[in-house]
Structures are given as C-alpha cells and as structure tokens.
Amino acid sequence: MSQSINLIVGLGNPGNEYIDTRHNAGFWFLDELAKCYQANFKVDKKFFGETARVTIKGEDVWLLKPTTFMNLSGQALQALAQFYKIKLENILVVHDELDLEPLTARLKKGGGHGGHNGLRDISARMGKDFWRLRLGIGHPGDKNKVSGYVLSKASKDDRISIERAIDNALRVVDDIVVGDMQKAMNTLHSD
C-alpha cells in the first residue's frame, strides 16, 4: 500500500545571512519546487513559517519553510501537521546531509538525527517515522568544524553539485507525492 505525501518541509535558517549556507539546502529545494508549480510562499505566523500549497499529481500538498531557526524546526512542522491532521508517514522532510557528497540526493524513511538539530527537534516532538529527502553537502573532515561548515557558504563547485542533486530530486517528486517511494529510490539511488 502506498502513502501519499501531503506536507513537504524544507529545513533551513531564516534571514539573509543564512540564504546561501549549506544548512539551507532544504529551503533551496522548496524554492525550486515552488517555482515548478508557480507557487508563492507567504508568512504564516500560526505555523511559524512560510507556507504555500500546490497540487502534485492530484494530491494537495503543503510546502513549509520554518522560520523558527533550525533547532526548533519541529515547532512549525507540528503546528501545521496537527492543524490539518497530517500523519507523520505523510510528511517529507528535506534537509542537508553531511554524510553524503554534494551531488547526491537520497530518500529514506525514519532513522536517527545524526546530529542534525532540525531532525533532532522534529523527532523529539513528533517521532522518527517520517520520510526524509537527504541532500548531500559533504563533510568538512573534522567533527569539530561541522557547525562552521554547515553555516558557511558552499563553494561554487559544491553549490553547483547541490543544485544538480536538487534537480535530480525534483524529477522524482511526483513519485514521492503519490507514494511510489520504491520507484523514487530506484531513480535517485542509481545516480
């Protein structure tokens, strides 16, 4: 049985100083997805973020960019999901992933937070059993440099690679939204 996706949450930090940082890869993805569907985000204070609605393959889908900063991402997700009664298994969280190279996008369900503060907060508030679209940003090589790395601007080459990973992920959004996760994974994971 397939599960449709009714909420796609892109993780990032609000504010101009963070726009081009690696940690905002989830925002970059949602911005591109919204462009594909001519959707515009609007600030929605009751959901602690910017929201848009699109129809993908006949499914009504909310797009959410939390404005709570990364470590409180779950507050926004929880507010919107509870208000619209969206179950955890019908949620896709799009985030930056240190353990993947910048050209890589991977889909999975559940798992730990891997030190990612946005995932940590969502898991603590809602549980772990949500879908994740992981966008590779690479690793600085030293765990003590991770914070500075994710909050710094990607190099030109890394940004191009991350944007290619986003493009590849956009190609499988239809499959993800209608719940054909295996098809989406087969496509993404063969890149």
List residues with catalytic annotation: 23
Cα dihedral across residues 145, 161, 12, 178: positive or negative: negative
CA-angle at 167, arms to 63 and 129, nearest 5°: 50
Residues in the chain: 191
From its phi and psi, is residue 53 left (phi > 0), alpha (psi between -120 and 50) or beta?
beta
Residues 6+ apart with CB under 8 A from 59: 4, 5, 6, 177, 178
